[in-house]
Amino acid sequence: MEGACPLITAHTKLLAVLGYPVRHSLSPLIHNAALRHDGLEYVYVALEVEPAALPAAVEGLRALRIRGANITVPHKQQAASLVDRLDPLAARLGAVNTVVNEEGVLVGHNTDVAGFRAALRTLVREGAQGRRCVVAGAGGAARAVVAALVEDQAAEIAVFNRTYLRAQALCEEAREWGGSKCEPIDEQGLASVGPDADIVINATSVGLDPAVKGGPFPVDIVRSHQVVMDLVYGPEPTGLVRRARTRGAAAVDGLEMLVMQAADSYALWTGRRPSVDVMKAALIQAGE
C-alpha cells in the first residue's frame, strides 16, 4: 500500500552510501522517506569506509547481496576501478556515484551529471549554455560537473585545483567530450577570470568539515551577477554560499543536486521513479 511503512524483516533489501566522512549525509533521510512513501521493502543506511578499506567494502556489496550503494567523497574515482562493469557515462568520466548489484554483477553508474544539470536549472533556466564557468576541484564530483557543463554547451570552463596538473588533465579530457573551451587555471588565473565568470562551482570537499577555515574561492572574485553553487551541504549554508549571498549573488548549496542525483539512483535500484517532493519534504522537516 502506498505510504505504508513496511516492517524490517528477513526479506528486507539493503541500500547504502559509502563515504569518508559520511555521518553528515542526508541520503538515508531522503531515500528512506521515498521508500516508505512507495511501500518498498528496502532500508538505506550510511557506512563510513576509509579509502584503504574501499575494495573490501565494494566486494562486500556482492557478498552480502546488497542491492546497491551510493559512492561519495572521496571514493568516486577509486570505485570506478572496483566494479565489474561501467555504464558508458561512468566509463567516460572514470567516476562512479551509484553501484547496482545485478545478481552478483556490480555495475557502476554516474547520476551526478544529470543531478547537477537539474540543480543548475533551478537557478538558470537554460543551464550553462553559452556561459563562462569556473569550477574548483578535479576529483570525481568535479569531473561530473565539467561533463554536465560540456553537455550544456558552456562557452568556457576554467578548472582551478590546488594540484594544477590534475586540473590540466581534466581539461584535456573535457575537450574530447564536446565543444566547450576548457582551461586549467592557477590562483593568479582565478583572480583574473573569476570575477567575469557567470557560474562559479565548488566541487571540492572544502567546507564539508566545519573545522576547515576558508574555502576554494577568495570572496573578492564573487560578483552580484553570478550564480554560485557549492556541492557541499550541511545543516547551515556553507561559508561560500553565505559569502556569495552577502555580495548579492544567487547561491545554493548541494542539497538540490543531492535530491536530483538521488532520484536517478533510486530508479536504478528499484525500477521506479521516487517522489522528489517527498524527498524534499523530508529535508525540510529535518531542518525544522
pLDDT tens digit string along 213-238? 456 777 789 999 999 999 999 888 88
Model pTM score = 0.91
The 10 Å CB-count burial string (b at 16+, else e) for 242-251 is ebbeebebbb
For CA atoms 119, 122, 124, 129, the dihedral sign is positive
Active-site residue flag, 280: no
Residues belonging to the chain: 288
Q: What is the pLDDT of residues 164-177, one digit of tens each?
A: 999 999 999 999 99
Classify the C-alpha dihedral 22-27-28-29 as positive or negative. Answer: positive
pLDDT of residue 216: 74
Q: Which is more confidently placed, 13 or 5?
A: 13
d(CA 274, CA 2): 12
Residue from 136, 90, 59 nearest 265 by CA:
90
From 239, 204, 205, select the one nearest 222 (Cα to Cα): 239
Q: What's the average model confidence in pLDDT over 52-72?
A: 98
Catalytic residue among 76, 181, 213, 280: 76
Closest CA to 139 of 156, 109, 161: 161
Classify 259 as helix, strand or coil: helix
